[in-house]
Amino acid sequence: MSITLAARASVVALAVALASQSPVLASDRDVAEAPGDTADAEAEQQPETVIIVSARRREESSQDVPIALSVVDVTTLDNTGSFNVSRLTQLQPSLQFYSSNPRNSAINIRGLGAPFGLTNDGIEQGVGIYIDDVFVGRVAVATLDFLDIAQVETLRGPQGTLYGKNTTAGAINITSKEPSFDFEGRAEVTAGNLEFRQAKASVSGPLSSTLAVRFGVATTDRRGTIFNVATGTHVNELNNLGLRGSLLWKPSDSLRVTLAGDYNRQNPECCAQIYARYGSTQRPANRQFPALSAAFGYAPPSLDAFDRVTDVDAELSARSILGGASLKIEWDVGPGTLTSVSAWRFWDWTPSNDRDFTGLPITLKVNNPSQQEQFTQEVRYAGSLGDRIDFVAGVFGFYQTIDTQGIQEQGTAASRWLLAPTSALAGNPAVLNGLVANNTIGFKNTSVAAFGQLSWKVTDDLTIQPGVRINYDKKTGSYDSVVTGTASNGTRQLVSFNGPFANDPWIVAQRGVLAPQFFEPEFSDWNLSYDLTLSYRIAPDIRAYATYARAFKTGGINLSGVPNDAAGNPLLAAGSVKPEKVDHFEVGLKTQFWDRRATLNLAGFWTEIRDYQATVNNGQLGVLRGYLANAGKVRVRGIEADFSVRPTDRFNAYVSGAYTDHEYVRFVDAPCPPELAGGTTVTGTQVPGAPGVPGALSPANCDISGQWLPGISNWAFSYGFEYNEPVSVFGLDGFAYAGFDGNYRSKFSSNPSRSIYTDINGYALSNFRLGYRTDDGLNLFAWVRNAFDVEYFEQLAANTGGNTGLIAGQPGDPRTYGLTIASSF
């Protein structure tokens, strides 16, 4: 029996009361089924549901696309609580996401994509993010809530032919719901522990026979998971707001014009990394964390990170405002469709951090507020020539500017913490107190490209697909760090390598902590990407493919400071890094059987990257954010499997797994891990000391060839099921259901050079839901995430505060639970 409007209104009113939010009506659009899908009852009667994707810039079944890809629809995202990319990783084992704050975020696919560590504005991701065909140049968008979307496609492996120069690891293709010419709406509200409140809603309908509009909103709030005893507040909270509107003009069946805009704001008290452990380095014992802490009579509020307490004394903020507008024109003309996508986007980042990770006034500020704008234009033509040839050809332009106003300021505890205790200056707090570096950073990035891909059906079963892209990139930047300190006569002076105070002992000491720098790096180059895929249909529902791709990630420039030479001059050779050059081989098998009730897809891949762009640290205190360097060669290879089954309309299940073997094939001059750093650097025939022995000699650099790449687990799995049973509640016909989603990843390294202190042990997370939904779109369910309250780290960070042995960590979310109510019409 259909739910009445009165009953539906009562449910929505109850949901509003529970979540203390004011949702706007929204709508569901039926989209493709994904593993673990819990689509509505009507879809459940269709075990042969076809998953439609646009991975090759045209709509087609995912099983016909010779690419390793995963598709998650809006129903799965909602039911599993996957409201952003971070949550999405728990459904897709080959996808990794690391974030210590929105700016310092990285998305990797198969372990590749971005250097592990703090972000450097002068390089780009190796995983492209596309929202409604618009390339997003900053990965900060991945920290935002999904807003009124239809589905998310994750394409694994190089996608440079169609998705751009910097998709050497893959692409994430996000498709929003379109304006509808039928009035529809949807509202969802959630309340949970940790004061979790979330509301998502949208409404769509016609304004005329040729004009339709859609509007969506999403808000998320949650109390922080870490208690700061210094301020009496919970930090690392969630505070997100997103708005999106779109207008569709369809004057004829052959022309569609879509104007869209979005605004997103985050303003949490975030993001603290807290004491995780101490790991002895080769620094003298009196300059390591235990001795330094004892000198101040200081101890962290807890030595167990999972007590979830900290005492950081600097202001914390992660205010991020991101948005933009796009105009998409689709015109069916001739044998295909001409598409133009014009877009402007902006990002305003206003952070506050505590980068000494303690309650001591060592470093008061390390903040890099920045403003970004980007403009993109793509024009492409996609179509078919007869029954044998499909094609896509186009041009793409990208222009980006970033302006950053950085500041680093030292406090009263800096002298004792950062200067050698044998120095008479270490006991004088005034020497480093008030030492300030003001960093002005500018960046301009221009890119133009022409691309094409051809799909030739040689026979009904054999298809040959070549693709090519030619790209030109130009990057220019400037880094100007002006350092001001107090001279021994008590006057404020510029800290420099020349001038009347250059040899003042206070200025010399300050220069060793924060050195002034000015340099103007630049990079420009042409590059050619190409690929060739052979696809063969073995049987109606079995397709095999093989791919070779030559891809690249454009070169970059260092915009976070570089090491100085002995005379204090910046090492200009470190001002830029060469492009990554990628050779990728892949074979795959896509199958369906049991009357298409079961799907099994397999992929094997081998990726080698020369001149891999790695983020490194050289131990100089002034280069806190690290800089870039090229590793000689890395290799990633592995096997992936995705299986889903729906034996009846009552039950569905899925399991996905990935084995990934990864290593630096050649990196002979890498930075050393903390246990092999901090001591006096060897010279001549001297032999480095044992790891972790205070006062031992340290190597100038380390050969880490053969070691793990950071952030990659050898094994990763996602798995789950859902069972439903028809029931009638208060006269409403529907289904009671129970679902489970779990994921596991094995041990991985959390440092660019693998350290004995920063390996993160493997862990498994389990999420459950129990609910009731009706044929007419009502869905009510209770959920629990990390049900067994597993204690795990998302990241560990070494080299904090000058290699004192302090390891800071970011604990993963504890057990959370709540109730969700959704209704659509």
Q: Which domains does the chain have, with CATH numbers?
A: 5-824 (2.40.170.20)
CA distance 153 to 135: 14
- The answer on pLDDT for 446 being more than 90 is yes
pTM, to two decimals: 0.90
Give the model's pLDDT for residue 154: 93
Mean pLDDT of the region 572-581: 86
Give the model's pLDDT for residue 165: 72
CA distance 504 to 83: 55
End-to-end CA distance of the chain: 15
Tens of pLDDT along 478-504?
A: 999 999 999 999 999 999 999 899 999
Angle, vertex CA 498, rays to CA 496 and CA 499, nearest 5: 100
Give the model's pLDDT for residue 118: 62
- The answer on pLDDT for 787 being more than 50 is yes
Tens of pLDDT along 524-535?
A: 999 999 999 999
Mean pLDDT of the region 309-320: 95
In angstroms, what CA-CA distances link 323 with 144, 215, 260, 639, 696?
11, 15, 11, 37, 51
- The answer on pLDDT for 585 being more than 60 is yes
- The answer on pLDDT for 244 being more than 80 is yes
Selected residue with higher pLDDT from 399 and 116: 399
Tokens in use for 364?
């008061």
Sign of the torsion angle spanned by Cα atoms 279, 280, 286, 290: positive
Give the model's pLDDT for residue 39: 37
CB-CB contact of 117 with 160 (8 Å): no
Which one, of 505, 510, 700, lies nearest residue 619 by Cα? 700
Long-range CB contacts (within 8 A, 24+) of 42-49: 42/775, 44/649, 44/724, 45/649, 47/595, 47/596, 47/597, 47/646, 47/649, 48/595, 48/596, 48/597
Angle, vertex CA 610, rays to CA 604 and CA 613, nearest 5: 105
CA distance 510 to 514: 6
- The answer on pLDDT for 624 being more than 70 is no
Upper half-sphere CA count for residue 316 (Cβ side, 13 Å): 30
Band the pLDDT of 626: cuts 50, 70, 90.
low
CB-CB contact of 719 with 654 (8 Å): yes
Tens of pLDDT along 33-73?
A: 333 333 343 334 444 457 788 877 778 888 989 999 999 98
Band the pLDDT of 800: cuts 50, 70, 90.
low
Give the model's pLDDT for residue 629: 79
Sign of the torsion angle spanned by Cα atoms 422, 424, 425, 430: positive
Across the chain, mean pLDDT equals 89
CB-CB contact of 666 with 705 (8 Å): yes
Q: Tell me which amino acid residue 273 is.
A: Q
DSSP 8-class letter at 588 = E
Give the model's pLDDT for residue 617: 57
CA distance 343 to 825: 32
- The answer on pLDDT for 16 being more than 60 is no
Give the model's pLDDT for residue 49: 56
Backbone angles phi, psi at 589, to 5 degrees: -140, 125
Tokens in use for 33?
């089924």
CA distance 74 to 149: 6
Give the model's pLDDT for residue 47: 42
Work out the percent of the chain whose per-residue pLDDT is above 70: 92
Give the model's pLDDT for residue 18: 33
DSSP 8-class letter at 572 = G
Which one, of 218, 212, 197, 229, lies nearest residue 308 by Cα? 229
Band the pLDDT of 139: cuts 50, 70, 90.
confident
Cis peptide upstream of residue 271 (ω within 30 degrees of 0): yes
Chain centroid offset of residue 517 CA: 30
Q: In 3-state terms, what secondary structure has residue 138?
A: coil
- The answer on pLDDT for 404 being more than 70 is yes
Q: Which residue bears the tokens 């420099």?
A: 496
Give the model's pLDDT for residue 801: 58
Give the model's pLDDT for residue 46: 41
In angstroms, what CA-CA distances link 742 with 107, 653, 739, 791?
21, 12, 10, 15
Chain centroid offset of residue 760 CA: 19
CA distance 429 to 414: 7
**Helix extents (H) in 367-432:** 414-418
Which one, of 108, 78, 79, lies nearest residue 93 by Cα? 108
Tens of pLDDT along 331-379?
A: 999 999 999 999 999 999 999 999 899 999 999 999 999 999 999 999 9
Mean pLDDT of the region 77-83: 86
Mean pLDDT of the region 667-693: 92
Max Cα separation, the chain? 88
- The answer on pLDDT for 409 being more than 70 is yes
- The answer on pLDDT for 720 being more than 60 is yes
CA distance 54 to 32: 12
Tokens in use for 349?
């980042």
589-626 as b/e: b if 16+ CB within 10 A: ebbbeeebebbebbbbbebbbbbbbbbbbbbbbbbbbb
